[in-house]
Amino acid sequence: MLDIFFLMFFAIIGLVILSYIIYML
Total of domains in the chain = 1
**Tens digit of pLDDT for each residue in 1-25?**
688 999 999 999 999 999 999 999 8
Q: What pLDDT score does 24 carry? A: 94
Based on DSSP, count helices (H) and strands (E) in the chain, helices before strands: 1, 0
Q: For residues 21 and 13, what is the distance between their CA atoms, to the nearest angstrom? A: 12
What residue type is 16 in one-letter code?
A: V
Q: Which domain holds residue 1?
A: 1-25
Q: What pLDDT score does 15 carry? A: 98
Q: What pLDDT score does 2 carry? A: 80
pTM of the predicted structure, to 2 decimals: 0.59
